[in-house]
């Protein structure tokens, strides 16, 4: 099965496992990351901090908190990832609804999958590049994300969540095209 064929719970399990491996392999949390002004620690901070507010604002979900990312980025990620996985593994989660002024009403598992799990997938490259680890992303899932995002480019760009596209060669592989589309310079290297 490909990542695209998995349920939201299984897809999160696979994508989070890859990100977890990069978290566990990081040696320098202060290393600059490909997102302007961010360090490796900030990549983890972003993923740990934005989802709880998103869920609390649109549902009755309150994710448990671990230590701060400044205190222990590995444990902060572990606690957060385990809480998200527990929520997705709950058989009642697909029947729960998240309400958001921008996206309307959406099943909770689909909201997490669409907005959060895909974010973990893309930020895996950021953390890997910042910390000198394996940065290869699943090509099939990259292609699916890129295709879906290209259809909504105006909405995505106006959200302020993505930078301007970075030009890449026409014959670039799908990962490079995805990175360029979301505003990453695929050739970025830590100074």
pLDDT tens readout for residues 141-162: 999 999 999 998 888 887 777 8
- Are residues 126 and 143 located together in one domain of the fold? no
The answer to whether the beta carbons of residues 19 and 46 sit under 8 Å apart is no
- According to DSSP, residue 166 is labeled P
Are 96 and 170 found together in one domain?
no
Q: Say whether both 122 and 92 belong to one domain.
A: yes
Q: In the 3-class helix/strand/coil scheme, how is 34-67 assigned residue by residue?
A: CCCCCEHHHHHHHHHHHHHHHHHHHCCCCCCCCC
> Are residue 165 and residue 177 in the same domain, yes or no?
yes
Same domain for 126 and 43: yes
Range of the structural domain that residue 156 is part of: 137-182
Mean pLDDT of the chain: 95
Counting the structural domains of the chain, the total is 2
Sole residue written with tokens 């990542």: 3
Tell me if 78 is assigned to some domain: yes
**102 and 24 within one domain:** yes
Among the three residues 135, 154, 173, which one is the final residue of a domain in this structure? 135
pLDDT of residue 129: 98
**Same domain? 73 vs 16:** yes
DSSP string for 125-165: HHHHHHHT---PPPHHHHHHHHHHHHTTHHHHHHTTSS-PP
Can you read off the two tokens belonging to residue 84? Answer: 């998200």
Residues in the chain: 191
Clarify whether residues 162 and 131 are in a common domain. no
Residue 155: Cβ within 10 Å count:
10
Considering the domain architecture, whether residues 164 and 80 belong to the same structural domain is answered as no
The pLDDT of residue 135: 97
pLDDT digits (tens, 9 = 90+) for 57-108: 999 999 999 999 999 999 999 999 999 999 999 999 999 999 988 889 999 9
């Amino acid at each position: 099965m490909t990542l695209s064929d998995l349920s939201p719970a299984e897809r999160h399990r696979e994508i989070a496992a890859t990100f977890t491996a990069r978290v566990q392999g990081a040696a320098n949390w202060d290393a600059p990351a490909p997102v302007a002004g961010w360090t490796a620690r900030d990549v983890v901070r972003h993923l740990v901090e934005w989802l709880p507010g998103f869920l609390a604002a649109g549902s009755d979900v309150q994710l448990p908190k671990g230590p701060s990312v400044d205190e222990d980025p590995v444990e902060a990620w572990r606690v957060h990832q385990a809480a998200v996985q527990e929520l997705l593994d709950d058989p009642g989660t697909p029947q729960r609804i998240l309400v958001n002024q921008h996206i309307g009403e959406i099943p909770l598992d689909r909201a997490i999958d669409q907005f959060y799990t895909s974010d973990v997938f893309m930020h895996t490259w950021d953390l890997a590049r910042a910390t000198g680890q394996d940065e290869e992303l699943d090509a099939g899932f990259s292609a699916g994300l890129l295709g879906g995002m290209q259809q909504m480019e105006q909405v995505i760009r106006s959200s302020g969540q993505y930078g301007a596209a970075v030009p890449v060669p026409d014959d670039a592989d799908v990962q490079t095209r995805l990175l360029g589309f979301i505003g990453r310079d695929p050739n970025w290297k830590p100074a």
